[in-house]
Structure 1
């Protein structure tokens, strides 16, 4: 005897949330902002919000959906990974974007949630979740780039506070930041074990920031000098000597974002279709294909690499979440993402020919001028966040097990 269909079977539990998200976005996202980007997610700035942008940021911040999977008790959305993916899909459907971003979201927030005290989480995480505080990173130094563990910025113990002296370089957005998370040396007799992770207000007396002019014409990076800067010990994350462990964890979050999941990479991967652009500038053959066969094959290969990369990125991100955060595999994704981004920029310049080599003035399309600056800025993608060579070392040692043998 046939069994009657179960007409009362529950629907997909995500359907209800999808309806909720769709309705909330429709009620809160200003249509005038459709297609725009999150200015706070970039290192460039400063940016003055329009009333619509302020309203959208406030709404997302109060809802906690700017950091959807962060715990609700600290201002996050408290969503599951599946719900966060649905939210992202519904935002894309509406042409909406996340107005909450920056280094606090990309790197520091996830690290503090793992290593911070309860007081530190309640002090810093809610402001990050609402996009109210801008953070910068104090890691690299003039003599400690690839070999970061050789850093010399020293924090001398003065009882309830440290006195910090030294210099950091390549401080992204340092001239606009409110606060800095940084690695300092608290023990000169030990290399890795002598490093400590501290937080510093950028308006503290003794902090001086000098922007660095880049070949792209912008100055998002800085030299930062610390002269007798007082840092309360309550601003230390973890114990003395644990900075290297905490700092490496933060770098995994950074590389995960730079590999393609973050806003900077997202902007570089976005934009005009290479195929359509090539048809416009290079022309088509009798069958409607890009006339230059070599260029056609390279564009096709690039698009396949990009599609494969994005799918792999999504898979590794899901694996990372199930394994309590990003792993050394972020080094692979960072290297691959850097190569693909730089290759895309090169193709954009090549496709336009002379029309793609403008710097300013009439006769050049606005998108072409932006692509030239992105092409030049993108040369640094394989350097910052850990150079390609450093990532290769991480891959060799921690993934392939190729340890050094003396």
Structure 2
């Protein structure tokens, strides 16, 4: 690369190139990919033509940052998110690199533009209510982890470490974990919350909702549905997409079939909003809950029935298949007169599969309520979109409007 070319590279890209090269050298890898900074942020790009299902790299278990690799260096007492966040925060500002994962930590972003740092204290109507609620839940999760770490440091008399790691450092580490970890089998049960890792190189890949993506190879532990045999776990191997990759082409991962609400709250970005996107959804609890409250004592009793049955909350309108079963169940009960014991028994029969519906009249009333919910969502989104200067927030409102319009059209409303 010429000196002229180098002069055009931004400071961020120059730092990324240097830290990425040092990381690759420390891992002893020869790669067909490289890290670059674009207008959209960091990403991984091919430097040669890559056949389908080619091994792009394998990271040894000892170089993965997770509960197994960190456990020998800390007293017990933290879950994986708390432990990794603490370790990363410990080396955010120190002039001495981490002796375990220094080259990798140097590739992590220095600052975050994430809603947890920029929007969490907003109390106005900037966001759709479902997004504001999800962001508040994320903030609660963060505070729970930070308080757990503070208690852990005190309980273990880690005074020096407590002085080193400020809350801003822990938040930086926590956001790195929350936005960059990938599933990796480390525990006996597949559902264990500590089954994840941070992985060098891999976490530079961007998300795509469509098109070919890189694929982590299934580990031995996952294949055997058992904890890893080796003390530090299995290595992580990444394969190229199922189609050939051309030189200079960006290689992506998919973070899962998530709505923009989830992508924004968890990762800090959104994707273009399509009217027929099957991933789109709207949580409508802020609209439905007052409907129960407006029924007074009967509404309170119905809320208790839903809570006891496990159907309170998480009520969504989805682009596909339109109305979630949980929302359908709640709205059916909303329109059941509690004085009609037969109707309540029929509603309970819909939960056990003995009945498809409560009654034709109940089904019609429930559908009318769905139409009312859609009308509220559409009207609200149209009113709020012109008020925001944020393109990402506008996409969040658009997604709610598109879902509501799609569901409304399916109802024939």
| TM-score bracket for this pair, using the shorter chain length | under 0.3
Structure whose CA Rg is larger:
2
TM-score normalised according to structure 1 size: 0.25
**Larger relative contact order (C-alpha < 8 A, sep ≥ 6)?**
2
TM-score (norm 2): 0.25
